[in-house]
Structures are given as C-alpha cells and as structure tokens.
Structure 1
Amino acid sequence: MTSPTVHPAQRIVDLSFGFILSGALSSVAELGVADKLAQGPRSAASLAEELGVHAQSLYRVLRLLASVEVFSEDEAGLFSLTPAAEYLRTEAPGSLRAGVRMLTQRLFWAPTGEMVDTVRTGQTPFDRIFGKPFFDYLNQDSVQSTVFHQGMSSISDMENGTIAASYDFTGLSSVVDVGGGHGGFLIEVLKRAPQVRGVLFDHAQVLADARIAQAGFSERCALVEGDFFQSVPRGADAYVLKRILHDWNDESCVGILRHCREAMAKGGRVLVLDTIIPPGNAPHGGKVLDVMMLASLPGRERTEEDFRKLFAQAGLKLSRSLPTPTTISITEAVAA
C-alpha cells in the first residue's frame, strides 16, 4: 500500500536508489565513524583526518545519512550520533556494526546486482562470480568468514532473548543447537532453563569464537565439532535449527531434518527457527530475506505448508507454529 504523501512514480524512483543508502551505510560501518563520534560532535574534516580518508567524500556520505536520521548535522557542520547511529558503535549494547558489514559485503551485493540472471535461469550467479558456492567460498576465505559469522551473531543478539522467551524449555533436559554459530541463542536458552544441558554444534573454525565460556556456561554446555550434513549429536530432547534451513534447498533440508529425527531421544522434537512467509501483500522481513537467499544461496524462506511437507519427508510431523516478537517463528516438529 502506497503512502498518501509519496507519488507512486516517486516511490519507484526512491526504491531504485536504495542501493545508494546501503553503500553509504556500509562505508561508515567499515570505517568505524560512529565510534569516533562517541565523545561528541565533530566535523567531517576532523573525522577524515583521523580516519585517513577524503574529507569532502566523507562529508557527502554523512550528509546523506543524516537525511535519513542516521547521524545529524548541526548549523556549524558538526555531525553527531542519533539513536539509530548508536547501533553502529562497536561497543554499544546491541551493536549492529558487524551486522551491517555482513549484510552489505560483496558476497550479497554482487549477486543481487545480477538478479535478472537469477530470474531468467532460476540459478544464483554466486558460483560464477566467486568461483564456488557460498559456504565453500566462506570456508576458504577466513576474512569473509569472520565478517559473516560476526555479523550473524550481531543480528541474532537483537532477537535471541525474545525468541528464547517465546518457547517453554523448562520441560527439557538437553538441547542441541545445530549450526549454532557462536552460541548466542543457546546462551539465552540456558539462562531461562537452568535444568537444560546444551550442545553447541558447528564447524571447528566457527566454534573457535564461541561465547559459551564467556557467558559462564562451560559446565552446562559442550562444544561439539561436526557437519550437520553427515550427522548430529545423539540423544537430545530438542534440536534447534535457527536460520539454518533457509540457506538450503528442499533436498538438503530433508537430509538435515532426517539426521535430527534419527538422533533425537524418544519424545524429542525439532525446533525450526526461520521466518514463515504469510499470505497477502503486507510487508514482511521474510520476503526481503527470501530474495536475498534467491540471489546468493540455494535456499529460501518458506510458508507453514512448505515446512509441513519437509517434515513429512524426514519422518516428522508439524505439531505447532509459535510466533515471536521478531520476524522469526518457532516451528515445532515431532516424530511422525
């Protein structure tokens, strides 16, 4: 539905310029501009001198971002932080600097720029641009891998607490977070359910930056290296798949789910934490994320019926779907 204050033609033009804002946001996140403004307003020239960048170019980028309430410029030409810009500070509670760096890196940007090829062929141009599939490329590029996983943790930290609070974990004794990254979600589960023992399951290079010990849960949570395409740790009451299945095509998802089905204890369940695409034309974050997947990865966001079909092929059945205060839903499956 269009805004009554924006002409439909202007809306199309504004949407076409969207990538400019992404590029501007990417540049200030990469340079750490918000960190330099933490002590108070400064001119673009002063910031540029400290950062070693071109002053006029920095000014023009900051001026644009100030027009959308990321930074503000006063009459003296000094820039300061806004509530939105606070989230670009590295040390700010809930910082999204790493998340912005991840979402605006070339891994996503370049394939999105060739979206027409994807629409024509149904295939992502990622392999052609980068020489191999997304996760294979990440595994051989430690710099990009670090940016990706730090960014995922940054964005996840914004939602983990409210998602964990949306499900009753108190009746469970063991939870495996499959492909759980640095452990942000599992930490929130352990906080809320003192009886739960956790397993953070991921590749060794990801677990190297796990935050379990830092959070004080080393005695209640094991770090286990592995590949969920091969197997998952056995005997748990629940297997969490948070933002995992949306990365993969249906065939791969069924394989992951089957491993969880085979490994789970009697009476166990699988918890899929992904967006559920609703019917209708209303805006939904899952629809944006779905096209991002279309451009760079073989996966997609799914409807509830899509999950029902995946579960059935893996020997599971959908038992319920729970909304959360975020765009993510908790889709629970049990043995069929």
Structure 2
Amino acid sequence: MTDSEPHLTEHRRTAAPAGAEDQARALRLVHGYMASQALGAAVRLNIADALAESPKSCADLAAATDTDPDALRRLLRALETLGLVERPSRTDLFTLTSFGDVLRSDADAPAHALANLFTSPAVWRPWGELHQSVRTGATAFETVFGMPAFAYIGRQAELSALFNAAMAETAQGAADVVAAGCDFSRFPTVVDVGGGNGTLLAALLTAHPGSRGVLLDTPTGVREAPKVLADAGVADRCTITTGDFFTAVPAGGDAYVLKSVIHDWDDEPARTVLRRCREAMPDHAKLLLVEPVLPGENGPAAELSVVLSDLNMLVMAGGRERTEAEYATLLDSAGLELVGVGGPLAPTHFQILEAVPR
C-alpha cells in the first residue's frame, strides 16, 4: 500500500459489544415482514409459474410477468437469498428450487393461495393493528373493515375464492397425516363439519374404502367439492350438504370431524357449534377435533406456529387456540367429554382431540 492509497483498517476479530447479537436477532424479526411481502409479490406476479416452464433470464422473466427488469432483478436477488430461486451456473438464468416450487399454483403441495392471502390487505391491515387488539381485546379486522371477517369475506367474491383456495391448501397439507393419525376404519359414516371443498374427507375416504362420508359447508365453501371428490374417486361414497353449522349438523354419523373450525370462534359461538354436533350425534358416535393444542400454563413454551395462529385468531376472527384443559371445559359445556388427545401430526402442528357424548 502506498501513501497515496486509502488506508483501510485491517479487520480484527474482536468481541461484539454487549447486546449486539441480541440486537441483530431482533432486527431479523423486525425485517421478517419484508421477506413475507417479497414472497407475496412473487406469488401475485406468478413468478413461480413462469419459472416452472423453464429457466429464464431476468429479461425474459420480466417480459413473461410484465414487470420492470431492474426491479424484478432486485426481487429475484431477495428470493434467491430466501432459497426460493437459484442460478445453478451462476449465470443470469433463474430457476425454482424445490422450496420455491410450492409457490406454483399447480404444485403438489401448494402454498400459493396461502401466501397470497396472508400477505394481502385483508390480513396485512388487521395485523398492523395487533397492538390495538391487545389493548382492547377487540378483533382488529372489525376495526379496520367495519364488520366480522367471515361476513366481509362472504361479500367479496375474489377474496372469498382466495380464502377458500387457501383453506383447501391447508387441508391438503394435513389430509394424509390426519388420515393416518386416527383409525377411521371404525367409522362407517364420517361427517366432515365445515369441510370446505372436501379435500380432507377425500383423503379419509381414500385411506378407508369401507367408509362413507357426509360433507357440510356453505354453498360457497363446497363449490369445488364435486370435482375434488370425483378426482379422488370417492364421489359415489360421499353426500354433499349445504348449511350452517350454527343451525344444524347432519344427524346419524359415526364420527364428526371438525378441522380448523373451533379455533375460529370464541367460547360462546364455539359452544354452539359443538352443541349442534352433540344434538346430531348418536350415543355411540365420536367427535374428532383437528386443531393445534397450546401447552398448559406450567408447560413448555408453545410452538411458534401455534402462538402465531393464536394471535391471528385474535386479530382476524375473534377466535383462539386452546389448551387441553380449555378444550375439555368447552366440550363439557356442550354435553361432550374429552377422552383422548393425540400427539402432534408432523410436519403439521395439528393434533386430534377425541370426545364422546356425555
């Protein structure tokens, strides 16, 4: 180095100032929403679908997605760092990773609609008011949009379609492990309460060919069910019923399955749904809830996915995740007795809670 060259201090390995690592860790959490929105942008721009056809240069991908090439390159740089795309030969050709493949709209295990929904204004804006929900106990969604979430979603055709698609993806991700996590062969007739497009019920009936199914949901919820059940080859063993589970549930089933239903509601409406199920159940029938279960007050720390889901219920729907003891109390108040709780169904956070009539 000559005297005319800039003098750079040689890097020395020194101990970080006290608290520096914790600060960096906090900043990673603070920046987390930026990664979520990068993923959401990729979905809304259909980048994964475009790359699924073949590797593309940034210029070709910009043309395929109608985006600004320079801005797209910046997004692709972030997606590469997040592990969603890669450049195998370190050239300008981008391709999907197996991780990024889930963002395709036709992926075998998709997260396309989920990513779109959870980074959309319908979820994004209420989460921005989480502090107000914590301060007041009120649901932020109603503060932002002026009505309960399900009422609002039902009035927005595009949002309703997106919500149903996202719920179908959630069901698809859990269907096989739920089917394997409980012996459904003991149930001649399985009633799926609030079962949406029938993804879960199709998996249960496929795994247990001796059983028949009844699918209950709103007309919008079951719109895609005939195709889903037919594609699975179980349509001849399933009856689709439209209705409101707050009003009535089909009678005479041997098992009543409610996946991700009870956590949507606070105790009083949840109790009403459970009572409608109890009224429909023969004395020998079982009720099976497929939900996350929070640890008790003196238990270990909860899984991150479960506590975030609990906050999402606070912000969005007014529901909640519950402990085993809270489920037992809630079921008891509806005339049901909790008799068993299965372990987590990996890789999901769901557990199966089994109850019987009292």
- Tell me, yes or no, whether TM beats 0.5: yes
Task: Give 1:244's match in structure 2, choosing from 238, 252, 261.
Answer: 261
Aligned positions of 1:155-234 closer than 5 A: 155-210=170-225, 211-234=228-251
Q: 1-side partners of 2:84 and 2:65: how far apart? A: 19
Distance in 2 (CA, whole Å) between partners of 1:224 and 1:283 is 35
Matched, 1:292 2:302: no
Structure 1 residue 172: deviation in Å? 1.0
Shift of 1:156: 1.9
State the partner residue of 1:254: 271
Note the alpha carbon deviations across 1:159-185, whole angstroms, 9 max, x for none.
210111100011111111000001011
Partner of 2:350: 328
The structure with more radius of gyration:
2
How far off is 1:68 after superposition?
1.6
2:139 matches 1:117: no
How many equivalent residue pairs? 331
Greater shift in the superposed pair: 89-98 or 145-154: 89-98
For residues 107 and 332 of structure 2, the distance between their equivalents in structure 1, rounded to whole angstroms, comes to 44
For 2:193 and 2:107, how far apart are their aligned partners in 1?
A: 28
Distance 1:291 1:281 in 2: 15
Structure 2: distance between partners of 1:54 and 1:123: 41
5 Å-filtered alignment, 1:124-139, equals 124-139=139-154
> What's the counterpart of residue 292 of structure 2?
275
**Residues 134-143 or 120-129, more deviating:** 120-129
Q: Which residue of 1 aligns with 2:10?
A: none
1:154 aligns with 2:169: yes
Aligned to 1:90, the other structure's residue is in SS state coil
Query: 1:77, CA displacement in angstroms?
Result: 2.8
Describe the superposition over 1:26-79 as per-residue Cα deviations: whole angstroms up to 9, x where unpaired.
Answer: 011111111111233222222111211222221111111211211114532332
SS in 1 for 2:282: coil
What is the DSSP-based 3-state SS (H/G/I as helix, E as strand, rest coil) of the residue aligned with 1:65? helix
Q: Which of the numbers 82, 86, 106 marks the counterpart of 1:72?
A: 86
- How far apart in 2 are the matches of 1:26 and 1:53? 15
Cα separation, 2, equivalents of 1:95 and 1:84: 10
> In 1, Cα distance between the equivalents of 2:275 and 2:190?
17
Matched, 1:303 2:323: yes
Provide the residue aligned with 2:65 in structure 1.
51
Q: Secondary structure at the match of 1:200?
A: strand
CA distance in 2, matches of 1:92, 1:297: 29
Tell me the TM-score normalised to structure 2 length: 0.89
Deviations 1:85-106 (A, max 9, x none): 1111222211221221122222
Query: In 2, are the aligned partners of 1:179 and 1:202 still within 8 Å (CA)?
Result: yes
| Equivalent residues of 1:87, 1:97 under 8 A apart | yes
CA distance in 1, matches of 2:67, 2:185: 53
State the distance in 1 between where 2:93 and 2:269 align. 52
- CA distance, structure 1, for counterparts of residue 110 and residue 272 of structure 2: 35
Match of 2:14 in 1: none
Task: Give the corresponding residue for 2:36.
Answer: 22
Q: Identity of aligned pairs, percent?
A: 37
Unaligned runs of 5+ in 1: 1-5
* 2:236 aligned counterpart, secondary structure: coil
Letter in 2 for 1:334: V
SS of residue matched to 1:204: coil
State the alpha-carbon separation in 1 of the partners of residues 121 and 189 from structure 2: 38
Counterpart position of 2:104? 89
1:321 and 1:297 mapped to 2: Cα distance? Answer: 25
Structure 2 unmatched ranges of 5 or more: 1-19
> Does the residue aligned with 1:87 lie in a helix, a strand or coil?
helix
Kindly state the Cα deviation for residue 250 of structure 1 after the two structures are TM-superposed: 0.4
